[in-house]
Structure 1
C-alpha cells in the first residue's frame, strides 16, 4: 500500500501553532510514503512567513518524511508590486523549493506538481502550453501500470463549495488536454479551503474517470464553512481510500473515509466507511 498525506493552504502568517504541531505529530503517526502540499505556504509571501514554512518543512524532513509541494497564489507577493511582476516566486524558490514542477515516483505511483500561480491574477490560476507538454512528457516516461497523480494549487475543474461554484482554472481546455492525454488518474489541489473527493466525470464529461481530491486548510485560521483538515490517500490494488482528518476537540480526527475502485476506466465509489486509522 502507498500512503500520501495531502496538506494544503498552510498560510504561515495567519496560522495556528497548535495545528502546526498537530500536523507534525499526525505525520509521524500516519507514516506516509509522501507528504503533498498543494500550495499557499504563506499568507502574504513575506520573508518571515516563508522562513516559518521552511522551518516546518525542515522538521518534517528531519523526521524522515519526503515532501512534494507547489506554490499557491498567496505565495506570490500581493502588495510588493515590483517583486510581484519581476520575481514573483523568488522567495518560494529560496525557502521552499527551487523546482516549480517537482516529480516523485513511488512504487506503482507517480506524483507530479505543477505551478498554477500567476502574477497577473489576484486569486485565479492557469496552465500554459509548455506546462501541458511537460505533463505529457513526464508521465509518458512512467509505466502504463503506474497510477498518475497531478498536483496543483488551483482546482482544474469548477467545484461547488457550499452555496457557491468556484470557477475552473484559466485555460481549462488545456488542463483537460493534459489530464486526458497524459492518462492522469487523480488530481490533488486546494485553494478553496474545502475538503472533498469526486469523480471528475460527474463534473466535466471530457475529464473521464479521473478522481478529484481537494484538501481543506490544514493550519490556517481562515476557514470557509469547514474546520481545518487534511487528507490521507491510501492506494492499494486498484482501490483508493480518501480519509479526511478534521480538527476537533484539540486534535485532528479521522472523520470521513470514502473508498473508490478503478473499474472500466474510471473510479467508482465502493462505500463510505469510518476510517481505520
Structure 2
C-alpha cells in the first residue's frame, strides 16, 4: 500500500502561518510515502512569496519526505508583463523545482506531474502535444500491477463549482488530454485550482474517459476560501489500482482533523464509493458524487 498526502494551493503571500505549521506537524505524524503539491505555491509569484514557499519545501525535504510538485497559474507573474511572457516560470524553477514534468515511481505507484500553467491563459490551464506524448511514453513501461497517477494543477475535466451546479472550464486541449489519459491507463488524476475537495469517476463526467478516478484537493493553507470551505488536503491509501481510500484532513481552527473517509473500488464498469467515516471532523459533509468539505 502506498500512502500519499495530496496538498494544493498553499498560496504563500495569502496564507496562515499557523495552518502551514499544522500541515508539517500532520505530515510528521503520518509519514506519507510521497507528498504531492499540485500548484499555486504563491499568491502573486513575487520573490518574497517564493522564498517563503521554498523554505516550506526545504523543511519538508529536510524531514525526509519525497516530494512531487507542479506549478499553478498563480506561480506565473500576473502584473509583471515582461517576466510573464519572457520567463513565466523562472522563479518557480529557481525556488521550488526546475523539473516541470516530475516523476516518482516505487513498487506500488508511478506518478507523473505535468505543468498546466501558461502565460496567455491567465487562470486557465493547458497541455501541449509534447506533454501528451510524454504522458504516453512515461506510463508505457510501467508494470501493470502499479497504480498510475497523473498530477496537474488544473483539472482535466469541467468541474462542478459552487452549489448551483455550474461547471468550470476544462483544461485546454481537453479532448486530446482525456484521450491520452485513457490510452495511458491512468488510474487516478489529481489536481487543485478550485479550492474544493471533490472526487468522481471520469466515466460519470464525460463519455469515453477510461477508468480514471478524478480527485480534487482543496486549499491546504490559503486564507482565500471559496464557498466557505475550510482549509483541507487529501490523504490517500492506494491499496491497488482498483482499490483506493481517500480521507480529507480538515482544518478545525486548531489543527487538522480526519474528515470524510471514502473507499473507492473498480471491480466492474465504474468506480463505486463506500463511505467509511466513523468520526467526521466538524463541518465535513459527504455528497452523493464523492467527497467534499463544507464549512465548520
The bucket for the TM-score relative to the shorter chain is: over 0.9
2:93 aligned residue? 93
* Higher mean displacement: 165-174 or 13-22: 165-174
Supply the distance in 2 between the matched residues of 1:154 and 1:223 (Cα, whole angstroms): 17
Question: Does the CA-based 8 Å contact 1:210-1:266 persist in structure 2?
Answer: no
Counterpart of 1:269?
273
Partner residue in 1 for 2:201: 199
1:47 is matched with 47
Q: Return the offset for 1:271.
A: 3.1
Shift of 1:177: 1.6
1: CA distance between counterparts of 2:154 and 2:184? 19
Map of 1:220 onto structure 2: 222
- Equivalence for 1:19: 19
For 1:256, the equivalent position in structure 2 comes to: 260
* In structure 1, C-alpha distance between the alignment counterparts of 2:51 and 2:278, rounded to whole Å: 37
User: What is aligned with 2:287?
Assistant: none
Cα distance, 1:205–1:77 mapped onto 2, change above 3 Å: same
C-alpha separation in 1, matches of 2:230 and 2:37: 18
- Structure 1 residue runs of 4 or more that deviate by more than 3 Å after TM superposition: 274-277
2: CA distance, partners of 1:131 / 1:253: 37
Between the aligned partners of 1:213 and 1:119, the Cα distance in structure 2 is 25
Partner Cα separation in structure 2 for residue 186 and residue 264 of structure 1: 16
Measured in 2, the distance between the counterparts of 1:3 and 1:93 equals: 27
Cα distance in 2 for partners of 1:79, 1:141 equals 42
Q: Greater CA deviation, 234-243 or 49-58?
A: 234-243
The structure that is strand-richer by fraction is: 1
Query: Where do 5+ consecutive residues of structure 2 fail to align?
Result: 282-296
Distance in 1 between residues matched to 2:203 and 2:257, nearest whole Å = 30
User: TM-score under structure 2 normalisation?
Assistant: 0.91
1:275 shift after superposition: 6.7
Q: Check the 8 A contact 1:10/1:217 in 2, yes or no.
A: yes
Question: Helix, strand or coil for the counterpart of 1:273?
Answer: coil
State the alpha-carbon separation in 1 of the partners of residues 261 and 36 from structure 2: 18
SS at match of 1:166: coil
Give the secondary structure class of the aligned counterpart of 2:215. strand
| Cα deviation, residue 264, structure 1 | 3.0
Q: In 1, distance between residues paired with 2:246 and 2:211?
A: 16
Per-residue deviation at 1:265?
5.6
Cα displacement (A) at 1:267? 2.5
In terms of mean alpha carbon deviation, does 185-194 or 201-210 score higher?
A: 201-210
- Tell me which residue corresponds to 2:124: 124
Q: Which moved more, 1:244-253 or 1:39-48?
A: 244-253
Which residue matches 2:66?
A: 66
Q: TM-score, normalised by structure 1?
A: 0.97
Shift of residue 270 of structure 1? Answer: 2.9
Task: Give distance in 2, aligned partners of 1:230 and 1:268.
Answer: 22
Q: Report the alpha carbon displacement of residue 144 of structure 1 after superposing the two structures with TM.
A: 1.7
Asked if 2 retains the 8 angstrom alpha-carbon contact of 1:255 and 1:274, the reply is no
Is residue 2:176 matched to residue 1:178? no
Bigger shift: residues 201-210 or 113-122: 201-210
Partner of 1:234: 237
Following superposition, the deviation at residue 209 of structure 1 comes to 2.2
CA deviation after TM superposition for structure 1 residue 21, in Å: 0.1
Partners of 1:259 and 1:38 in 2: CA distance: 22
Q: How many residues align?
A: 277
2: distance between equivalents of 1:16 and 1:75? 18
Looking at structure 2, the residues matched to 57 and 158 of structure 1 have their Cα atoms a distance apart, in angstroms, of 30
8 Å CA contact 2:8–2:218 kept in 1: the answer is yes
**RMSD of the TM alignment (CA)?**
1.4
